[in-house]
């Protein structure tokens, strides 16, 4: 008698909470995005304006700018982090004494609050008291206005500092769980280390790497606090990523309807990425399995 109800009893709390605090708000947001809505009104009082918010954003130069910044940020962050992270994993994939201590050091940046990360980097980038400019002074080079002229680059560097270890650790784990037989066979056949990397290690790691990259990509669209603390989106709109723009539209410009529509655009973008992640994952798994079989046949 209890048997059939048991799974539902286990599921109930999670389902109820997620329905109330995730699904309902998301629905509420979609509903609100069709309205001219400011924070002093309840949603019922707000006037229904149809697709006006979406159309307005479609031709809003500030939104375009912000979308462009977001895409550039995400692209550079993920690609640079992937190259450095995977490169380091390939380089450090050997028996080092104290690797666990090393990994502890590497995950430290990820665990610290984004707010604090922003704070540290804002200090280091500071035009007069900051670490970098002081260093440039001491070697006699001209100072650089990090958070002014090169704001986006500086923000990207900070994110690379924080999240490259994530990719490094996942890539290292993938590397260490590769089938030993394939590597062994390649070594016996006289493949150089470089050939081993290009023809064996990287293709076999690919499924994990793709998922890692997509996860990072999704996370890159969530970044907000680091940039908020470092530049507050400025100078101008040069670092105002979409998440920041949503929060400013809602709190500063008090246009909840527009902010909701913008959230929806972001959500659609992320949904596409998530679906791409699943599809790619399936496809790569099949491919990797085929490759694996081929390698085993050859050896």
Name which of residues 127 to 186 contact another protein (CB under 8 A): 128-129, 131, 134, 161, 165-166, 169-170, 173-174
Q: Does 111 bind another protein (CB under 8 A)?
A: yes
Q: Quick one: which H or E segment has residue 48?
A: strand 47-48
Nearer to another protein, 189 or 294 (CB): 189
Interface residue with another protein, options 247, 288, 291, 292 (CB under 8 A) = 247
Q: Does 48 bind another protein (CB under 8 A)?
A: no
Nearer to another protein, 256 or 295 (CB): 256
CA distance 166 to 86: 10
Residues 191-210 that bind another protein (CB under 8 A): 193, 208
Of 59-67, 147-155, 214-222, 290-298: span binding another protein (CB under 8 A): 214-222
Bridge partner list, 35: 48
The values of phi and psi at residue 215, to 5°, are -60, -45
Q: Does 35 bind another protein (CB under 8 A)?
A: no
- For residues 29 and 260, the answer to whether their CB atoms sit within 8 Å is yes
Long-range contacts (CB closer than 8 Å, 24 or more residues apart) made by 115-118: 115/225, 115/226, 115/229, 117/158, 117/161, 117/162, 117/226, 118/158, 118/225, 118/226, 118/227, 118/228, 118/229, 118/230
Nearer to another protein, 79 or 192 (CB): 192
Interface residue with another protein, options 80, 281, 288, 291 (CB under 8 A) = 281
Of 47-55, 57-65, 148-156, 274-282: span binding another protein (CB under 8 A): 274-282
Nearer to another protein, 82 or 242 (CB): 242
Task: Supply 198's token pair.
Answer: 């290009």
Interface residue with another protein, options 136, 218, 288, 291 (CB under 8 A) = 218
Q: Does 222 bind another protein (CB under 8 A)?
A: yes
Q: Does 124 bind another protein (CB under 8 A)?
A: yes
The sign one gets for the Cα dihedral 178, 182, 184, 186 is negative
CA distance 178 to 3: 42
Nearer to another protein, 68 or 193 (CB): 193
Nearer to another protein, 152 or 174 (CB): 174
Residues 64-93 that bind another protein (CB under 8 A): 88, 91-92
Least distance in angstroms from the C-beta of 86 to another protein:
14
CA distance 123 to 227: 13
- Concatenating the DSSP letter of every residue in 9-45 gives HHHHHHHHHHIIIIIHHHHHHHHHTTEE--TTS-TTT
Interface residue with another protein, options 49, 136, 191, 215 (CB under 8 A) = 215
CA distance 144 to 127: 7
């Amino acid at each position: 008698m209890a048997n059939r109800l048991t799974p539902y009893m286990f599921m109930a709390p999670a389902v109820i909470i997620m329905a109330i605090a995730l699904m309902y708000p998301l629905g509420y947001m979609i509903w609100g995005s069709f309205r001219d809505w400011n924070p002093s009104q309840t949603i019922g009082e707000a006037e229904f304006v149809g697709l006006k918010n979406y159309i307005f954003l479609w031709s809003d130069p500030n939104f375009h700018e912000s979308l462009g910044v977001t895409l550039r940020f995400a692209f550079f962050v993920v690609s640079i982090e992937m190259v450095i992270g995977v490169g380091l994993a390939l380089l450090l994939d050997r028996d080092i004494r104290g690797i666990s201590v090393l990994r502890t050091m590497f995950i430290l940046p990820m665990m610290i609050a984004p707010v604090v990360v922003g704070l540290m980097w804002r200090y280091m980038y500071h035009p007069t008291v900051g670490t970098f400019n002081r260093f440039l002074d001491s070697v006699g080079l001209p100072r650089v206005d990090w958070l002014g002229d090169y704001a986006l680059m500086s923000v990207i560097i900070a994110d690379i500092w924080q999240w490259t270890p994530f990719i490094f650790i996942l890539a290292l784990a993938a590397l260490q769980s590769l089938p030993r037989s394939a590597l062994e066979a390649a070594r016996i056949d006289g493949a150089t280390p470089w050939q081993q990397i290009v023809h064996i290690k990287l293709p076999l790691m690919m499924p994990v790497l793709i998922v890692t990259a997509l996860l990072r990509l999704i996370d890159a669209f969530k970044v907000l606090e680091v940039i908020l603390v470092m530049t507050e989106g400025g100078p101008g709109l040069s670092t105002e990523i979409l998440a920041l723009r949503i929060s400013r539209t809602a709190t500063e410009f008090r246009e909840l309807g527009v902010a909701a529509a913008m959230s929806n655009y972001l959500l659609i973008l992320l949904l596409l990425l998530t679906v791409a992640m699943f599809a790619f994952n399936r496809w790569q798994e099949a491919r990797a399995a085929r490759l694996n079989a081929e390698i085993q046949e050859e050896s």
